[in-house]
Amino acid sequence: MNIANKVTMIRLVCVPFFMLSMFFLPVETYGWFVTALIFAIASITDLIDGRLARDKNIVTDFGKLIDPMADKLIITAALLGFIQRIDLFPYMNMWIVMLFITRDIVISSIRMVASLKGHAVAAALSGKVKMITQVVMVLVMLVSAWEQWGLWHPILQTIWFWLGAASMVVSVAATVFSGIDYVIKNKKYINYMQ
């Protein structure tokens, strides 16, 4: 396993720790600072692994498959945490979570079919933009949870609440666009499914 894939594996290892911290650490006592820190570390590995693979010319099919899977797992963990704490995130609805998960299942299915045909579907720019918007959304929403507990100035409560809602809207739009983009660019693999 090369260094880029090892960095990706760090992101996978972060997922259970992220979930445990999100589900069990109290937001009221800055417990979610740890949650946000774990998520930030996982997100930074997403920047590092791709750069390493390209710069060192060590891009592998394993990396092309495991990198998006690690992304999906960390984002899905966050979405499930937000739904569990709907009291903190009233603008996060189940249909949004289902939209994110459905898009990921469709893209993963395309990747699987491509893999069976001996091809690997690399990440597209729209998918990278989608991931960036999702990372920003999660971080902003984690910070907004602190604000709702009144840990900072009341004006910041309102600002962070609406920043969380706005980042979610942008992320939903990027998710829909990237899903459509992947389907159009990889429709030949969809034809193999018939």
In DSSP notation, 69-101 reads HHHHHHHHHHHHHHHHTTTT-TT--HHHHHHHH
The C-alpha atoms of residue 166 and residue 91 are separated, in whole angstroms, by 10
Q: What's CA 159's distance to the chain center, in Å? A: 23
User: Which CATH number applies to 3-192: 1.20.120.1760, 1.20.1740.10, 4.10.220.20, 1.10.150.120?
Assistant: 1.20.120.1760
The total number of residues written for the chain in this structure:
194
Q: What is the pLDDT along the chain (194 residues), one digit of tens a residue?
A: 899 999 999 999 999 999 998 888 877 667 778 888 999 999 999 889 988 888 899 988 788 778 888 989 999 999 998 898 888 788 888 999 999 999 999 988 888 888 888 887 777 899 889 999 999 999 998 887 776 555 567 777 778 888 888 999 999 999 999 999 999 988 888 776 66
- Let me know: does 186 contact 115? Beta carbons within 8 Å: no
**Cα-Cα-Cα-Cα dihedral sign, residues 111, 114, 119, 125:** negative
Q: What is the C-alpha separation between 78 and 21, in angstroms, rounded? A: 11
Buried b (16+ CB within 10 A) or exposed e, 125-137: ebbebbbbbbbbb
Q: Any idea where the domains of the chain sit in the sequence?
A: 3-192
CA 169 to chain centroid, in Å, comes to 15
The tokens describing 54, both together, are: 């390209």
